[in-house]
Structure 1
Amino acid sequence: MLTRVGVRLDRLFARPPHAPRRVIETGLDLTGEVEGRLHGRFPSVDGDWLGVVNYEIGYADGRPRKVWLADQLVPFHVLRPRE
């Protein structure tokens, strides 16, 4: 069963504090939230939950083509339920 979720890219791809930033205008935009489809769940040995999610990431320059990511293992703390 597919469940609609939001994937918080800022949290999934968090940058280390004080890491230098070099803007690449044609790079992937790893900010904000994108829509995903959750289709699997797994517990970790530490009791954290991980979801298997399909989602897309756009480019910073706004081009229409996006990078499609299928079957990505994502920690539940970066997911948000969507209706």
Structure 2
Amino acid sequence: MTLTSPFTVWEGDDVHGRRAVLTGVGIRLDRLFARAPGAARHVIPTGLDLTGEVQGRLHGRFPGVEGDWLGVVNYEIGYADGRREKLHLVDQLVPFHVLRKRE
């Protein structure tokens, strides 16, 4: 099931099924999970790696009351210790200023 918005773009038809169009995006984790200025740093080697950019799939949009846009995105975050499994996040509302369209 996909969280749909009034701005979700669909492909397919009623006979063969409809699917939300997925747009590839980069998500800048440093901006999405910005640390508070002056916050003490305590490294946890088994914690989530919230640095850099990860790939995601945008499939919906919602406007905020003040005109800011939020994207509905599926993406994964890796762990700092390099393990293969990742945390899978589905239907997350993410501000557009942390997204970058991928080609």
Query: TM-score by structure 2 length?
Result: 0.80
Q: Tell me the equivalent position of 2:86.
A: 66
Q: Give the SS at the match of 2:49.
A: coil
Structure 1 moving runs of 4+ over 4 Å: none
Query: TM-score by structure 1 length?
Result: 0.99
Q: Which of 24, 29, 46 is the equivalent residue of 1:26? A: 46
Alignment gaps of 5+ in structure 1: none
Q: Give the SS at the match of 1:17.
A: coil
Task: Give the Å deviation of 1:17.
Answer: 0.8
CA distance in 2, matches of 1:57, 1:8: 11
Are residues 1:17 and 2:34 paired?
no
Are residues 1:42 and 2:42 paired?
no
The structure with higher relative contact order (CA 8 Å, sep 6+) is 1
CA distance in 1, matches of 2:37, 2:64: 26
**Which protein shows a greater Rg?**
2
Q: Tell me the equivalent position of 2:72.
A: 52
Fraction of identical pairs, as percent: 80
Across the two proteins, how many residue pairs are aligned to each other? 83
Aligned-pair Cα RMSD in Å = 0.3
